[in-house]
């Protein structure tokens, strides 16, 4: 059980949540939700003890499993040891044993301590620790040959998986997972879901993967109205229930604002004269209803709508016997693909198998090793690269950068697109160097909306986006009359949008007509 008692937290005068009291019970799996900047990671740090609240307290079990984001702390260690040290009591006992056994002679005190340490190791299942850790690593797709090498030799995505295994190791009574599906492929996410279904402790998880939250969560704790509101059910259940809550709060706020107006009118009319005492009473009542104390929802959903000026030809893309890779070494070969106008094509596969390589080859960023690529008549491709740090130059305001992309759209046209992507008013004048990851993604999508391409090529567009923005992107791709080819690990996006799937596996690539359901059925037959 994790108990949060009267917790408040603010940053720089901005109130994230105030006097929050709630509990997270064993056997329940809580999704912690809210838009970017709502305070999800801050609240998680308060739960795990990395950050103190401004007021209040948190009661939690002794054995916590925490997903750490800083892998540099463990780069010098063997992968298997990084996992085992997730059980702090066991790891400390094992390390102390090594120190004692390295001594040329043991004193009586050393012998007694060694015996006590052996008991700790036995209690914590230390004799099966390496095999247990290896099972976790295997489930998360870490190659067996990497388990006994240093963490520094793994790529970033695999390091995240090792830290996830660390959090899961050692029978934690509570798991605190901040974005556990980041850098995980679909197969690893499904493994994680299955593991968490069998976890009988407390789970609190932050994720921008709607499908993951729907699959795993029994409850949702949503940060909004400067507090945390808990809902029974998964994410979709919460969305439906929250709409009712939002309506009730909006109605209450409207009544409060109407009451404020009535009081202000009375005070202005009767502040002096025979009814001044009544006006003074109204002033006291008005103080209790100050407008700045009306708590408002922090929901901010962009409106994404892709349009084009010219539709282009019916045949958008033809690929014949395509091989992709680097330095003459093919990651896969033999891709045959036809894409027609209006199709939505999802590219899926594990990390490192060549999805981005395929996208970059189609965009002409990389040369093909073999085969032919033919784009159709008047096809105009808008590109969202996975690595987009250099796409928005420093030294600009967002509006100025956007206006440079298409001056003939006019200032009002540019501001209209920026406003739909939550850069209205002063936010449109933000310096590009201050943009958060989520803001950067929204700015690049705004650019694609402004330029009105008839074909979109999107490589992991949902990275850094909150759930509201991902839902808006899903709607934008669904309603786009043009063609979209996209790389994603987001199953909700694949399920709701894709009508053709390219599956990239190690050394091979296959094309499946239909969406996610048809793809899964076809895979089960092979």
209 and 277 housed in the same domain: no
207 and 276 housed in the same domain: no
Total domains in the chain come to 3
Among 87, 96, 114, 94, residue whose Cα is nearest residue 172: 87
265 and 150 housed in the same domain: no
- pLDDT tens per residue across span 223-262: 888 889 899 999 999 888 887 776 676 677 777 778 778 8
Residue 299: inside a domain: no
Res 296: pLDDT: 65
Residue 469: inside a domain: yes
3-state secondary structure of 250: helix
204, 237, 270 — which closes off a domain?
237
237, 269, 285 — which closes off a domain?
237
How far is the C-alpha of 69 from the C-alpha of 404, rounded, in Å?
37
How far is the C-alpha of 126 from the C-alpha of 431, rounded, in Å?
53
In the predicted structure, residue 269 carries a pLDDT above the cut 90: no
47 and 107 housed in the same domain: yes
CB count within 10 Å of CB 444 equals 20
237, 258, 276 — which closes off a domain?
237
Q: Which pTM does this prediction carry?
A: 0.75
Residue 308: inside a domain: no
Residue 303: inside a domain: no
333 and 472 housed in the same domain: yes
Instruction: For residues 13-23, give the mean pLDDT.
Output: 87
How far is the C-alpha of 214 from the C-alpha of 235, rounded, in Å?
5
- pLDDT tens per residue across span 177-196: 988 887 777 877 888 888 88
257 and 376 housed in the same domain: no
**Domain range for 281:** 242-293
117 and 32 housed in the same domain: yes
Residue 307: inside a domain: no
366 and 426 housed in the same domain: yes
Q: Are 340 and 315 in contact (CB under 8 A)?
A: yes
93 and 55 housed in the same domain: yes
233 and 250 housed in the same domain: no
179 and 204 housed in the same domain: yes
CATH code for the domain of 68: 3.40.50.300
- pLDDT tens per residue across span 206-231: 998 889 999 999 999 998 888 898 99
198 and 153 housed in the same domain: yes
For every residue of 29-92, which 3-state class applies, written as one string?
Answer: EEEEECCCCCCHHHHHHHHHCCCCCCEEEEECCCCEEECCCCHHHHCCCEHHHHHHCCCHHHHH
């Amino acid at each position: 059980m994790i108990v949060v008692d009267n917790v408040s937290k603010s940053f720089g005068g901005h109130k994230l949540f105030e006097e929050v009291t709630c509990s997270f019970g064993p056997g329940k799996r809580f999704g912690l939700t809210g838009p970017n900047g709502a305070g999800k990671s801050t609240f998680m740090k308060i739960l795990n003890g990395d950050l103190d609240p401004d007021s209040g307290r948190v009661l939690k079990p002794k054995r916590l499993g925490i997903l750490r984001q800083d892998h540099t702390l463990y780069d010098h260690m063997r992968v298997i040891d990084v996992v085992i040290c997730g059980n702090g009591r066991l790891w400390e006992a094992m390390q102390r044993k090594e120190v004692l056994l390295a001594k040329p002679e043991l004193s009586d005190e050393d012998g007694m301590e060694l015996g006590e340490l052996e008991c700790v190791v036995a209690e914590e299942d230390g004799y099966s620790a390496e095999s247990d850790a290896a099972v976790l690593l295997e489930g998360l797709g870490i190659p067996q040959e990497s388990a006994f090498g240093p963490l520094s030799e793994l790529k970033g995505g695999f390091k995240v998986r090792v830290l996830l295994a660390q959090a899961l190791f050692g029978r934690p009574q509570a798991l605190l997972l901040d974005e556990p599906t980041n850098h995980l492929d679909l197969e690893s996410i499904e493994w994680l879901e299955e593991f968490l279904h069998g976890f009988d402790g407390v789970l609190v998880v932050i994720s921008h993967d709607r499908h993951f939250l729907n699959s795993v969560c029994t409850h949702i704790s949503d940060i909004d109205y400067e507090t945390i509101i808990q809902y029974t059910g998964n994410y979709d259940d919460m969305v439906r229930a929250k709409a009712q809550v939002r309506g009730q709060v909006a109605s209450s706020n409207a009544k409060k604002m109407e009451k404020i107006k009535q009081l202000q009118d009375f005070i202005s009319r009767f502040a002096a004269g025979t009814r001044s005492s009544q006006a003074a009473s109204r002033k006291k009542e008005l103080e209790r209803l100050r407008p700045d104390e009306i708590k408002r929802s922090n929901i901010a959903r962009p409106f994404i709508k892709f349009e084009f000026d010219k539709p282009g030809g019916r045949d958008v893309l033809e690929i014949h016997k395509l091989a992709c890779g680097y330095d003459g070494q093919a990651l896969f070969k033999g891709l045959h693909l036809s894409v027609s106008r209006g199709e939505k094509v999802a590219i899926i596969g594990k990390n490192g198998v060549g999805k981005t390589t395929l996208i970059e080859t189609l965009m002409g960023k990389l040369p093909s090793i073999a085969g032919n690529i033919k784009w159709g008549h008047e096809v105009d491709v808008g590109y969202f690269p996975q690595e987009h740090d250099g796409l928005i130059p420093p030294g600009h305001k967002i509006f100025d950068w956007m206006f440079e992309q298409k001056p003939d759209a006019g200032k009002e046209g540019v501001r209209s697109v920026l406003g739909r992507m939550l850069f209205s008013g002063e936010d449109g004048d933000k310096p590009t160097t201050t943009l958060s990851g989520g803001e950067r993604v929204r700015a690049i999508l705004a650019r694609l909306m402004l330029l009105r391409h008839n074909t979109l090529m999107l490589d992991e567009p949902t990275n850094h986006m909150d759930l509201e923005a991902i839902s808006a992107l899903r709607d934008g791709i669904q309603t786009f009359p043009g063609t979209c080819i996209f790389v994603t690990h987001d199953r909700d996006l694949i399920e709701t949008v894709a009508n053709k799937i390219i599956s990239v596996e190690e050394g091979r690539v296959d094309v499946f007509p239909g969406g996610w359901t048809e793809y899964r059925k076809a895979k089960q037959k092979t």
